[in-house]
Amino acid sequence: MTPTHLFKGTGEITKLLLRQQRFKILIWLLGLIIITLAVASAYPDMYTDEKSKQAFALTMDNPAMIAMLGPGYEEQDYLGSIGTLFTHEMLLFSAIAVAIMSILLVGRSTRADEEDGRTEMVRALPAGRLSYVSAAMIILTAVNAVLALFIGLGLSVLGIEGINLESAILYGAVLGATGLVFGGFTAVFAQLAETSRGATMLSFAVLIVAYLVRAVGDVSNEALSLISPLGWTVRTDVFAGNDWWPVILSFALSIVINIIGFYLNSIRDLGSGFIPARGGRRQASSLLQTPIGLTLRLQRTNIISWGIGLFALGASFGSILGDLETYFADIEFMQAFLTEEEGYTMTEQFIVLLMAIMALIGTVPAVMTILKLKGEENKNRTEYLYSRSLSRNRMLGGYFLLAIAVSIIMQLLTAVGLWSAAAAVMDDALSLGSTFKSALVYLPAMWIVIGLAVFTLGIIPKAAGIVWFYLIYGFVVIYLSGLLEFPEWVNNLSVYEHIPQVPVEDMDFMKIIVLTIIAVVLAAAGFLGYNRRDIKG
């Protein structure tokens, strides 16, 4: 087969994948672009004088902040450009968000389609061996290019001090380059792993390792940071020196990774992976033969990974609590995220915001647990289970109970991580009991979202994406409502806004009971619908 034939049909497959992914791509692009520009436009009103900028520079010199956000600028750079303040707080986490988008996009367009049988159907037509992965990488490149261009041009027209066209384009370019790198890693892992989940988990593992290596290197050894693509991202010196070498290096790495991915794809059998699946036992255990045992086995790696991640994230935030009072005292921007409560410290008010965000993140693995059943149904695997003496209630009940347990576990791990790290850096340490209350009070809100997932699964399974949209909406409300001053009705649409803000508010048990009842009603409706609707297959 000639090299040209290997790519035959790439254009048509690109159109097919683009049509398949168009709504997800549009949501990601609009979300990232709008949030970036909205946050940037708020900075000039928050840092209005030299004192607030100096306080920012002092705080960002803290090792914990360097580990979390990357190395800072010189003080004169902060004083002379609002853009440097914006970049230091936003660039790294924006790059991580773009990396997540790219991982999910490539994973869905490669290994997931192969697992679902779409790739085999397409390859039965006059299509080259490399056409499918080529189409996925074309879409990845186009999406990141559009993102980089719109963010760059958008920042340049805001008229913010220190932001010009070149520096704004560099800001967008480094985000796009980061997306290409981690999308490329996913394309490689799609050849190594036998499942889409395996490929995605390996990609996220690389992202986490890249973040941790950068964090350690930024604090102790810069040479270590230069091993990590995220270490390159935070060294672009945007809105100050404007260094393009990290972008060029990221582009070069993405090309090398893509070549590896293309080669592996060309020598791999369809449906197989270079990392073989581990052989199972000859006989299933008694637990594995129960619905909840099977669900737990399918979700085990996912739950452990999310648990470790949330514990580490809680510990990361806990490590900065020692200097938080100084940080918030002089920076109006950060105060905008908090609700003013007399008699409570800035740290206690920050805990309220932090626990709301962590609860949102902790809801993700719980929702994934419920929607795993939809994935099993789409792959026609539930047919075999229901052919035995297994009721739909028992099957869905296993997933539901595990999702509830996951929500509790995630909040407990978050609280333990936060408290243990905070105890090591604070003179007046947080109360363990208060920390647990602040975390566990959000469980009813998490259960409502779990109930919504059960409801969509049972009543309108094709609309399961509503749950993810609602979670994203909740995050935007919690993170930006104080900064952008959303109307009250916009805030009230998020269930997380109705949770008592412990410890700055007293516990409202009536609210907790009402929210729990709503969760039960949603779940009950979902169970009823699941029992009555046709199972796909």
Domain membership flag for residue 12: no
Contacting residues for 491 by C-beta, under 8 A, at least 6 apart:
477, 481, 497
Domain membership flag for residue 8: no
Helix (H) or strand (E) holding 424: helix 392-425
Chain centre distance of CA 298? 21
Q: Which two tokens stand for residue 145?
A: 């290019």
Residues 260 and 336 in one domain: no
Compute the distance between CA of residue 150 and CA of residue 145 in angstroms, rounded to an integer. 9
Q: What pLDDT is attached to residue 520?
A: 97
HEC profile for 277-312? CCCCCCCCCCCCCCHHHHHHHHHHHHHHHHHHHHHH
Could you tell me if residue 223 is left (phi over 0), alpha (psi between -120 and 50 degrees) or otherwise beta?
alpha
> Is residue 226 helix, strand or coil?
coil
At CA 255, angle to CA 12 and CA 274, rounded to 5? 80
Residues 169 and 24 in one domain: yes
Q: Which two tokens stand for residue 266?
A: 């060309």
Compute the distance between CA of residue 182 and CA of residue 177 in angstroms, rounded to an integer. 9
> Is residue 150 helix, strand or coil?
helix
Compute the distance between CA of residue 284 and CA of residue 34 in angstroms, rounded to an integer. 50
Residue 427 burial (CB count, 10 A): 5
Residues 267 and 287 in one domain: no
Domain membership flag for residue 3: no
Compute the distance between CA of residue 279 and CA of residue 283 in angstroms, rounded to an integer. 12
Compute the distance between CA of residue 451 and CA of residue 519 in angstroms, rounded to an integer. 5
Domain membership flag for residue 7: no
* Number of domains observed in the structure of the chain: 2
Q: What pLDDT is attached to residue 331?
A: 54
Decide if 209 contacts 221 (C-beta within 8 A). Answer: no
Angle at which helices 392-425 and 443-458 cross, to 10°: 150
Helix (H) or strand (E) holding 137: helix 131-156
Compute the distance between CA of residue 100 and CA of residue 203 in angstroms, rounded to an integer. 9
Q: What pLDDT is attached to residue 346?
A: 67
Could you tell me if residue 281 is left (phi over 0), alpha (psi between -120 and 50 degrees) or otherwise beta?
beta
At CA 459, angle to CA 453 and CA 465, rounded to 5? 45
Residues 203 and 308 in one domain: no
Residues 51 and 164 in one domain: yes
Residues 266 and 303 in one domain: no
Residue 465 burial (CB count, 10 A): 13
Compute the distance between CA of residue 170 and CA of residue 185 in angstroms, rounded to an integer. 23
- Residue that finishes a domain, picked among 271, 297, 320: 271
Decide if 373 contacts 399 (C-beta within 8 A). Answer: yes
Residues 434 and 310 in one domain: yes
Nearest to 30 by CA among 479, 481, 476: 476
Place of tokens 């370019």: 173
Residues 263 and 292 in one domain: no
> Is residue 18 helix, strand or coil?
helix
Q: What pLDDT is attached to residue 122?
A: 77
Decide if 260 contacts 268 (C-beta within 8 A). Answer: no
Residues 297 and 232 in one domain: no
Owning domain of residue 320: 283-537
- Residue that finishes a domain, picked among 223, 248, 271: 271
Residue 158 burial (CB count, 10 A): 15
Domain membership flag for residue 313: yes
Nearest to 258 by CA among 182, 342, 337: 182
Domain membership flag for residue 65: yes
Compute the distance between CA of residue 180 and CA of residue 64 in angstroms, rounded to an integer. 28
- Residue that finishes a domain, picked among 271, 303, 338: 271
Residues 288 and 262 in one domain: no
Residues 264 and 337 in one domain: no
pLDDT per residue, tens digit, the chain (537 aa), is: 556 677 888 888 899 889 988 988 999 999 999 989 988 988 888 777 788 788 778 777 777 678 878 888 888 888 888 899 899 989 999 999 999 999 999 998 888 878 777 777 877 777 778 888 899 999 999 999 999 999 999 999 998 888 999 999 999 999 999 999 999 999 999 999 888 888 888 999 899 899 988 988 888 888 889 999 999 999 999 998 899 999 999 999 999 999 999 999 888 887 778 877 666 667 767 777 777 888 888 888 889 988 998 998 888 888 777 666 555 555 555 555 555 555 566 677 778 888 998 999 999 999 999 998 888 887 777 877 777 778 888 889 999 999 999 999 999 999 999 999 888 877 777 788 888 999 999 999 999 999 999 999 999 988 888 998 899 889 888 877 766 677 888 888 999 999 988 877 788 899 999 999 999 999 999 999 999 888 875
Compute the distance between CA of residue 383 and CA of residue 536 in angstroms, rounded to an integer. 9
HEC profile for 257-285? HHHHHHHHHHHCCCCCCCCCCCCCCCCCC
Chain centre distance of CA 251? 23
Domain membership flag for residue 189: yes
Residues 335 and 433 in one domain: yes
Domain membership flag for residue 278: no
